[in-house]
Amino acid sequence: MKPIYPKAILIIITFFTFSTLLYSQSAVAPFGDGTSGNPYQIASLDNLYWISQNSSSWSSFFVQTNDINASKTSTYDGGQGWTPIGNDVTKFSGSYDGDNYIITNLYIDRPTTNNVGLFGHITDGAKILNVGLIDVNIQGARGTGSLVGRVTGNDETVIQYCFVDGGTVVGDGATGGLVGSNNSSSLESALNSNNPALKPKISSCFAKVDVSWSKNFANYDNYNVDNHWTDNDNYADKFGGLTGCNQKGFIENSFSMGRVTVNNNETVAPDPINDKNYERIGGIAGCTYYKGDIVNSYSSTILVTSNVNRVGGFVGYKNSDASAGYISQSFWDTEISTLASSDGGVGKTTAEMKTAATYSDPTWDMATTWGISAGVNDGYPFLYNDNSYLLPIELISFEGNKVSDETIELVWKTASEQNNEGFEIQKSYNGTDFHTIAWVGGNGNSITEQQYSFVDFETSQDIVYYRLQQFDRDGESSYSEIISIHTSLIKEEMQFLQKQTVLSNAEIGQTYTIVIIKESGKTIYSHSCIAQSETLYCPYILEQGLYIVKIQKNSIDLITEPILIEAN
């Protein structure tokens, strides 16, 4: 009989090798040199992985230039997933600007590793800006967050305009939806409450993710036979929707939604020597102490706990001695959290949380930082600058119409706006050389449709071209499409016979398109025909109501007019 096992082994080895090659991670050096003027350009997952593998770059500048799908990280490092950028030996002190691109499906499975997240440990001077994480799957030990595991920084350490939306974050302690722990590298004695000096900052960020304790349904394998906790202890301490603990840190204009679950289902007693307990669980932060401050923030986090102490709708624990932190103009949803108490913050009903009057204090900037609308963020306040609710400034339409022998009206609409300073209206007689004729201010930030108009006086040319140049508040700009207006066609008259449309002075043999649009915006008729005479009829029978009729030639709108069809 022929042996079969060697062949089977060969097949298995071949398949394993192929799979390893197919799914193994690769580090590809990004473009750029890592300076502020020429930052490393992170355009792919391989570029991102390169950062994690090159600790010598962790004081450099980075900018993300594309959305990144990180699904492959589930196969990294033998299934342990992503290797955090920055650790206790070499902390990240550089600058990473996500430039409002997102990273999806980041995976980390390192339950015995402290300081876990996209960034593991960041320190003085580090800046993480404009980073969005979608659908994360993160597990670490102590100091776990989706974006950053642990912060030990100064007032130049900033996490701003960042968010996580969807997924799970699981840790042993000091675990939060976005940041595990937000700590200052300065001594407590050097800090002042209600003053961000020397304190690392989390600003204009949010977390919508499920946070939980890794031992919710497991045995305490770190509790030894002598009834003492080991060095790698695991007790339910410091869990929050945004951050596990804000210890000597500063948080402003941020919020948390989602769920925090810490269930102590074991019978093992707390450590009798070190008094380690199951405690400090909060909606936005498990704790804020040693002069950690939170201002103008809120939580609508669901809290699910059992057999734990110091649980609060906003914050689980805030010390009350000389090192106490400061919580101001901050709220939590008492109905969603099912908690009527918190060690800081003001409890509000769900209806009150969704009411603008709750945020009427002048410290809440409801014009440029925050917005509130029933159709956005489930009615809770949202952040304008987090790149989650606002589309880029996008023109729905840009049109021009001759309204008299001497005037042309330009009308344009935007779907939503972010930091829109305004529009330059530019004009040309040849479609190439444009000059500015007017400025129309923008609406800054908006989540609703906005309409603008401008009237130009023009009689000298048969054809005039227009375009818009839109400017952001940071000086960046972009151009609209170019439109053309045939001014001589004012002599053509559109007459309306009760249920017919007539174009006089049509060019015989020329193809025209007739478009009829209902008041609701729906196009109900569009037909092209060749003019057989100077009079062009529309065969479509119009019912009573208001319509917009367009006559087009060579895809150019010659005439756009409203018509009202009345009852017979």
How confident is the model at residue 321, as a pLDDT?
Answer: 77
How confident is the model at residue 394, as a pLDDT?
Answer: 63
Based on the structure, what is the number of domains in the chain?
Answer: 3
- The answer to whether residues 476 and 520 belong to one domain is no
Q: Which residue has tokens 């069809």?
A: 565
CA-closest candidate to residue 316, choices 255, 370, 365, 262: 262
How confident is the model at residue 497, as a pLDDT?
Answer: 36
Q: What is the mean pLDDT of residues 75-85?
A: 95
- The answer to whether residues 23 and 84 belong to one domain is yes
List the structure tokens of 62: 């980075």
Mean pLDDT, the chain, rounded, equals 80
- The answer to whether residues 479 and 499 belong to one domain is no
- The answer to whether residues 374 and 441 belong to one domain is no
How confident is the model at residue 400, as a pLDDT?
Answer: 85
Domain residue limits at 215: 5-386
Q: Is pLDDT at 370 greater than 80 in this prediction?
A: yes
- The answer to whether residues 341 and 466 belong to one domain is no
CA distance 183 to 143: 11
How confident is the model at residue 224, as a pLDDT?
Answer: 33
- The answer to whether residues 401 and 540 belong to one domain is no
472 forms bridges with which residues in the sheet? 420
Cβ count within 10 A of residue 527: 12
188-247 residue pLDDT tens? 766 777 777 788 999 999 999 999 987 753 433 443 333 333 334 455 689 999 999 998
In this structure, what are the phi and psi dihedrals at residue 320, rounded to the nearest 5 degrees? -115, 10
List the structure tokens of 155: 């007032």
- The answer to whether residues 163 and 226 belong to one domain is yes
Q: Classify 405 as helix, strand or coil.
A: coil
Residue 105 pLDDT class (50, 70, 90 cuts): very high
- The answer to whether residues 355 and 503 belong to one domain is no
Domain boundary among 386, 411, 441: 386
How confident is the model at residue 553, as a pLDDT?
Answer: 79
The share of the chain scoring above pLDDT 70, in percent, equals: 76
Q: Is pLDDT at 259 greater than 70 in this prediction?
A: yes
Return the biggest CA–CA distance within the chain.
104
Q: When comparing pLDDT for 19 and 120, which is higher? A: 120
How confident is the model at residue 496, as a pLDDT?
Answer: 39
165-187 residue pLDDT tens? 999 999 988 999 999 999 988 77
Q: Is pLDDT at 69 greater than 80 in this prediction?
A: yes
- The answer to whether residues 262 and 359 belong to one domain is yes
CA distances from 330 to 68, 245, 320, 336 (A): 34, 16, 18, 16
Beta strands in 71-205 (DSSP E): 95-97, 102-104, 107-109, 119-123, 127-129, 132-139, 142-144, 148-153, 158-160, 163-171, 173-176, 179-184, 201-203
Q: When comparing pLDDT for 487 and 10, which is higher? A: 487
**pTM summary value:** 0.66
Domain boundary among 487, 518, 534: 487
- The CATH number that applies at residue 560 is 2.60.40.3080
How confident is the model at residue 139, as a pLDDT?
Answer: 95
Lowest mean pLDDT among 181-185, 266-270, 461-465: 266-270
How confident is the model at residue 218, as a pLDDT?
Answer: 40
Q: Is pLDDT at 495 greater than 70 in this prediction?
A: no
Burial class (CB in 10 A: 0-12, 13-18, 19+), 533: exposed
Domain boundary among 325, 360, 386: 386
Q: Is pLDDT at 31 greater than 70 in this prediction?
A: yes
Q: Is pLDDT at 109 greater than 60 in this prediction?
A: yes
- The answer to whether residues 373 and 509 belong to one domain is no
- The answer to whether residues 214 and 356 belong to one domain is yes
- The CATH number that applies at residue 464 is 2.60.40.10
Q: Is pLDDT at 269 greater than 60 in this prediction?
A: no
How confident is the model at residue 301, as a pLDDT?
Answer: 93
Q: What is the mean pLDDT of residues 362-382?
A: 86
Residue 104 in contact with residue 131, Cβ under 8 Å? no
Residue 76 region by backbone torsions, left for phi larger than 0, else alpha for psi between -120 and 50, else beta: beta
Please, which contacts does 264-269 make with residues 24 or more away whose CB atoms are closer than 8 Å?
264/236, 264/306, 264/307, 264/308, 265/216, 265/217, 265/306, 265/307, 266/215, 266/219, 266/220, 268/220, 268/223
Residue 142 in contact with residue 170, Cβ under 8 Å? no
Q: What is the mean pLDDT of residues 452-477?
A: 79
- The answer to whether residues 229 and 326 belong to one domain is yes
Q: How many helices (H) and strands (E) does the chain have?
A: 4, 47
- The CATH number that applies at residue 299 is 2.160.20.110
Q: When comparing pLDDT for 446 and 325, which is higher? A: 325
